[in-house]
Chains A and B, each alone.
Chain A
């Protein structure tokens, strides 16, 4: 039971990072971007590409499986994924917004972008799984019966750091307040001098950067596969909707709930069915609380 909770928290943390981007897009750009989960995959592969070219260091950080090159790879992946998100917006979504496209048009366009992004990865890297490092790690017993890899603990700590950093940014900085204002009413934000186009660009940058972190953390603690985005699509959206559209705090809680539910579900259903759990939760949210747990109120 304790081990399942630990596994669930780790999965949930990674889902939270991806779900934050989904909820920001829902709140500020006002459409469900089904290509967001592919940014997670691209983030992971950007880091892999950097490691392939830069090589891995023989020296690792204590019990961790990586050294400085991997830290650089995370930063490169975040920047590259943010730029990719901006590029996709410039080529597809912003053009549709300028033409006054309906929300559903943007949603279907995002499906197309998702397919394109996924298959470019397959074309370049092939369909097989890949790993950042071949270093063997031994799990550490942190509580009786609960063993966690050092990399997993670091991923949790970094996720917490990113979430707290984002919360502080949204709550106290000029950009954060502009983002929250634009999410509630773009026109009112414009009236008060906020250039919503700049806010939109920052939304892509932040969402893309966090998606990259999620992809790298997934690759580090599980493995890299071209279909990571497809696998995470439903859990990410369920986490974002559970938390409430536009609520960063909600997305984090949503991610943890989905991660824990998936993990603990194996106590009552066969392991092969655990991926159906987010779908079940999504149905329940839509039926019982369509605005999510923290919709609007927690922005």
Chain B
């Protein structure tokens, strides 16, 4: 299957002379759930933020369906077919649930109300909280709202930065099941996860990052059984 999202030799970081991501290449195809794992400080979140235009790209190229979207202006993500779910602070806590949807449907025009109604059908748990402020939602509800807000613009690719962060294990399973379902419906999902084992179990493929670069890549099941993955991910060194 041809890739929908392609990253080629990407270099990115916060300071011009100090790149955090040092030449990463990866691909994601429609219907695929791809997970990036790696130890803290590996550059996973920086990579995904650079793809979303939130971190300066210093080199390399990001392509969506063959078109160059390197260094895209972040507010053009939804209209380009890209959704991004941040790790934390991914909903507006001072707005109501309904206003959160309206904020994320900013560019939709007349379709907005129909799309919001659809979002409540997909995430019925949010409907009773329609007029409640985002701050009263539980961690799981916040993640569902964040996902619902992202889906409102019908993206082709969703970038997720640690969707399980801070969630109870039972909620994590629910969130992951939803993500698998989205991939099965034809969306391309790229997620960064610390919860490596659980994430790889439902993923199609994975990349292992360390020190700003991809060290290992392959099928999710292969990575789960690869002894090298445990070594890099856990930061262990082989006995010399």
Surface stretch bound by B, among A79-87, A135-143, A187-195, A219-227: A187-195
Whether, in the assembled complex, A181 has its beta carbon less than 8 Å from a beta carbon of chain B, the answer is yes
A177 touches B99 (CB 8 A): yes
- Total residues of chain A contacting the partner, CB 8 A: 21
Surface stretch bound by A, among B22-30, B74-82, B227-235: B74-82
CA–CA, A196 to B74, complex, Å? 10
Can you show 24 pairs from A to B with CB atoms below 8 A apart?
A174-B102, A177-B99, A181-B92, A181-B99, A183-B94, A184-B93, A184-B95, A185-B89, A185-B92, A187-B54, A188-B86, A190-B53, A190-B75, A191-B74, A191-B75, A191-B86, A192-B104, A193-B75, A193-B77, A193-B78, A193-B106, A194-B106, A196-B75, A299-B94
**Residues of B contacting A78 in the complex (Cβ-Cβ under 8 angstroms):** none
Closest beta carbon of chain B to A19's beta carbon, Å: 19
Partner of A192, one of B53, B93, B94, B149: B149
CA–CA, A288 to B127, complex, Å? 38
| B67-101 near A? 1/0 per residue, CB < 8 Å | 00000011111110000101001111111000100
Which chain A residues numbered 165 to 191 have a C-beta less than 8 Å away from chain B? 174, 177-178, 180-181, 183-185, 187-191
| B85-129 near A? 1/0 per residue, CB < 8 Å | 010011111110001001110110000000000000000000000
Whether, in the assembled complex, A296 has its beta carbon less than 8 Å from a beta carbon of chain B, the answer is yes
Whether, in the assembled complex, A297 has its beta carbon less than 8 Å from a beta carbon of chain B, the answer is yes
CA–CA, A191 to B75, complex, Å? 5
Partner of A180, one of B79, B84, B86, B95: B95
B74 touches A187 (CB 8 A): yes
Partner of B75, one of A180, A184, A185, A194: A194
| A184-221 near B? 1/0 per residue, CB < 8 Å | 11011111111110000000000000000000000000
- With A188-B86, A296-B94, A299-B94 as given contacts, are A177 and B74 in contact (CB-CB < 8 Å)? no
B92 touches A188 (CB 8 A): yes
Q: Select the residue from B86, B92, B93, B95 with max chain A CB neighbours within 10 A.
A: B92
**Residues of B contacting A188 in the complex (Cβ-Cβ under 8 angstroms):** 86, 89-92
Q: Select the residue from B95, B104, B149 with max chain A CB neighbours within 10 A.
A: B104
Instruction: Closest B residue to A189 by CB, please name it.
Output: B103
Whether, in the assembled complex, B175 has its beta carbon less than 8 Å from a beta carbon of chain A, the answer is no
**Residues of A contacting B92 in the complex (Cβ-Cβ under 8 angstroms):** 180-181, 184-185, 188
**Residues of B contacting A187 in the complex (Cβ-Cβ under 8 angstroms):** 54, 74, 86
**Residues of B contacting A194 in the complex (Cβ-Cβ under 8 angstroms):** 75, 103, 106
Closest beta carbon of chain B to A141's beta carbon, Å: 44
Whether, in the assembled complex, B42 has its beta carbon less than 8 Å from a beta carbon of chain A, the answer is no
Whether, in the assembled complex, B153 has its beta carbon less than 8 Å from a beta carbon of chain A, the answer is yes
B-to-A contact residues, CB < 8 Å: 52-54, 73-79, 84, 86, 89-95, 99, 102-104, 106-107, 149, 153
A177 touches B103 (CB 8 A): yes
A191 touches B89 (CB 8 A): no
CA–CA, A47 to B78, complex, Å? 43
Q: In the complex, given contacts A185-B92, A191-B74, A194-B75, what are 20 additional A-B residue pairs having Cβ atoms less than 8 angstroms apart? A: A174-B102, A177-B103, A178-B103, A180-B95, A181-B92, A181-B99, A184-B93, A188-B90, A189-B75, A190-B54, A190-B73, A191-B54, A191-B77, A191-B84, A193-B75, A193-B77, A193-B107, A194-B103, A194-B106, A296-B94
CA–CA, A219 to B103, complex, Å? 39
Closest beta carbon of chain B to A100's beta carbon, Å: 11
**Residues of A contacting B75 in the complex (Cβ-Cβ under 8 angstroms):** 189-191, 193-196
| A233-258 near B? 1/0 per residue, CB < 8 Å | 00000000000000000000000000
Closest beta carbon of chain A to B146's beta carbon, Å: 9
Instruction: Closest B residue to A195 by CB, please name it.
Output: B75
A177 touches B102 (CB 8 A): yes
**Residues of A contacting B53 in the complex (Cβ-Cβ under 8 angstroms):** 190
Partner of B95, one of A174, A177, A191, A193: A177
Closest beta carbon of chain A to B144's beta carbon, Å: 16
CA–CA, A193 to B104, complex, Å? 7
**Residues of A contacting B93 in the complex (Cβ-Cβ under 8 angstroms):** 184
Q: 3 closest Cβ contacts across the A-B interface? A: A190-B74, A193-B78, A192-B104
Closest beta carbon of chain B to A24's beta carbon, Å: 14
Closest beta carbon of chain B to A266's beta carbon, Å: 38
CA–CA, A299 to B133, complex, Å? 11
Which chain A residues numbered 252 to 299 have a C-beta less than 8 Å away from chain B? 296-297, 299
Instruction: Closest B residue to A192 by CB, please name it.
Output: B104
CA–CA, A103 to B142, complex, Å? 31
**Residues of A contacting B86 in the complex (Cβ-Cβ under 8 angstroms):** 187-188, 191
